[in-house]
Structure 1
Amino acid sequence: MSGATVLYDAPGPKARRRNTMIAIAFGVILIAVAVYVLVALADNGQLTADKWDPFITATTWTTYLLPGLWGTIKAAVLSIVFALILGALLGIGRLSDHRWVRILSGGTVEIFRAIPVLILMIFAYYLFAEYAVFPAEQLAFAAVVTGLTLYNGSVIAEILRSGINSLPRGQVEAANSLGMRKSQTMRMVLLPQSITAMLPALISQMVIALKDSALGYAIGYIEVVRSGIQSASYYGNYLPALVVVAVVMIILNFGLSTLATVVERRVREGKRKGTIGDVTIEDDAITADR
């Protein structure tokens, strides 16, 4: 039948009319709910201009939002760098020929991947405070970075391990036939290809790390959400403050996602032909140089 697919048959005229009516009814309900919410907010004085005026003054940004934004970016960037390093070590460790290394790496991944990020932050905060590992003014920052690193590093380890295991077995066999050690095979052949293949998942995890930095609010870390709440407490405009904070976070995540898309496209469209010693890698096949 024309318009049919493998998964389902194309709807007939009666089904199309029914689907259209359902879509229209759902749209009307959404509009009605949005109007009701806006009217309720207006009646409570939440949409007046004076509630939004603080955000067009430089003092609000320099006193509250910009320091919080810097705290968010600082914690996210540092934790992402550490998580990539930790994830690479644990991911490679799970593929080690040594059983004790596989068990240790696997146990670490499963433990920290199962614990909520907020619990990791709180545990790290009190652990660092108890043993005076960091100065008091850096405790919250260190705890946020530690929690994000442990959780995201464990997830990245699984992403890398899955990426390496998804590569054709012939890659390893060809490298072995050329006399390459396992460390060389991993570093020169498997890791570059697996990172390229799993780049979208890696970038998604970085976006999660950026958003999860807001959990530092619970241990007193100054990030953009906490700064927005402090601003709202001072000016008495909680709804506009939350809206502004949400817009800032959306812009941050959209910027990171856009950067990731550009990097991924350049990596995939880059050189498809690279040389490793006397080995040429072309179109995912390893052939001897002539």
Structure 2
Amino acid sequence: MSDTQQVLYDVPGPKAIRRDKTLNVVFTLVVLGLIAWLVQAAWSRGVLDDRWQVLLAGDKGFSGWDVWRRLLWDGLVLGTLKAVVIAVPIVAVCALVLTVARQAPMRLVRWTAYGFTHVFRGIPVLLLMYFGVIALDLSLLPSVVLGLVVYNTAVVAEILRAGIAALPKGQKEAGLSIGLSPLATMLRIQLPQAVRIMLPALISQIVVLLKDTSLGFIIGYVELLAVTKNLYNFFGSASTAPLILASAAIYISVNMLVARLATWLEGRMRRSSHVARPADGGDVAAPETAARAAYGAGGGAGAAGA
């Protein structure tokens, strides 16, 4: 395994680098041309007038800072990110349990986990939120979290299962051969490799979860989209375009930060990788060697009885 191997993508060659640079230039020119066309069209239609002052100087007794504070603090932090911060750890734990259950030796446990995954992947998140409000009589935040957790647990568990299925069978056999139990083999050897393989899909699912918080607006939960609607109802229809574009810019910025998090995780996982390499400089370690390395990095013989 090369030291320069990436988790999210393979290291490009010279031709790929030249092609990527050319495509980047072309794409940049196209985007700049599109932005210039949109600005010109907006200018010709009188969109770029004093209505944008609502984001700068404010209106009706509100300053521009008051508008941004409501968008960023009341909408993003106290609404959108609060639901995300609560939901993501719960999803991670529940998806791990569901993934282990999908590999359990007991048929009833496997079938139950299989049924949960395929049933709740097919139910809309908004319907789950309504179920929390109407059927369970929960308040708005728990209902939003319930919808996000149930749906995304099913999706993330399926992503992890696909990552485990993509591993060579020798990984599991090697773990069993060095004395690990099936559960310890999955947790110490298979699951960490599955996370590395499926990291792009997992990060993408976090982005989906973040955007799905906007569905809480429909059941009355106050998040970024709801705050935006309240603001343009207060300031009038002229402020609709500036406020919607400001909210879109906030969503895009947060999702870009999540993408940067993926890059940071990729680098950290690559640096902390302890998979043994053959002495002759080959690219792939033997399954048992890799299993011993992963097992040793994960805590040694103490996991054998897990």
TM-score range, shorter chain: 0.7 to 0.9
Structure with max Cα Rg: 1
**What's the counterpart of residue 91 of structure 2?**
83
Match of 1:50 in 2: 53
Query: Cα 1:252–1:95, aligned 2, differ >3 Å: closer, same or farther?
Result: same
CA contact (8 A) 2:80 2:210 kept: yes
1:90-105 → structure 2 map (5 Å cutoff): 90-105=98-113
1:61 aligned residue (68, 86, 98): 68
| CA shift for structure 1 position 269 | 2.9
Higher mean C-alpha displacement, 204-213 vs 51-60: 51-60
Counterpart residue number, 1:15: none
**Cα deviation code 1:226-277 (max 9, x no counterpart):** 1111111111211111011111111111111101211122102323337xxx
Moved more, 74-83 or 51-60: 51-60
Residue-by-residue CA offset, 1:41-63 (whole Å, 9 max, x unaligned):
53xx7664434332962222334
Question: Once the 2 structures are TM-superposed, how far is the Cα of residue 143 of structure 1 from its aligned partner?
Answer: 0.6
1:248 counterpart letter in structure 2? I
| TM-score, with length taken from structure 2 | 0.73
8 Å contact kept, 1:65–1:227: no
The 1:232/1:46 distance shift into structure 2, 3 A limit, reads farther
TM-score by length of 1: 0.77
Post-superposition shift, 1:38?
4.5
Q: Tell me, yes or no, if the aligned pair for 1:144 and 1:216 is still in contact at 8 Å.
A: yes
Letter in 2 for 1:117: V
Is this contact kept in 2: 1:196–1:268, CA < 8 A?
Answer: no
Equivalent residue for 1:221? 221
| Alpha-carbon contact 1:67-1:224 (below 8 Å) kept | yes
Deviation at 1:206, TM superposition (A): 0.5
Q: Among residues 265, 268, 279, which one is paired with 1:266 in the alignment?
A: 268
| CA–CA separation in structure 2 for the residues paired with 1:226 and 1:206 | 21
Maintained 8 Å contact 1:225/1:245: yes
Structure 1 pair 120–41 and aligned structure 2 pair: CA distance change class (3 A): farther
Query: Paired residue for 2:115?
Result: 107
Aligned runs of 1:1-290 on 2, under 5 Å? 35-42=40-47, 48-52=51-55, 53-54=57-58, 57-70=64-77, 71-129=79-137, 134=138, 139-236=139-236, 237-273=239-275, 283=285, 285-287=287-289
Alpha-carbon distance in structure 2 between the residues aligned to 1:50 and 1:30: 21
Unaligned runs of 5+ in 2: 1-28, 277-283, 294-306
Counterpart of 2:13 in structure 1 is none
Identity, % of aligned positions = 33
Distance 1:184 1:250, change over 3 A: same
- The 3-state SS of whatever aligns with 2:288 is strand
Q: CA deviation at 1:180?
A: 1.5
CA distance in 2, matches of 1:180, 1:74: 39
Q: State the Cα deviation string for residues 88-126 of structure 1 (Å, max 9, x = none).
A: 111221122111111100111111100111111111111
Aligned length: 250
**3-state SS, counterpart of residue 105 of structure 2:** coil
User: Given that residues 64 and 227 in structure 1 are in contact (C-alpha distance below 8 angstroms), is that contact kept between their aligned partners in structure 2?
Assistant: yes
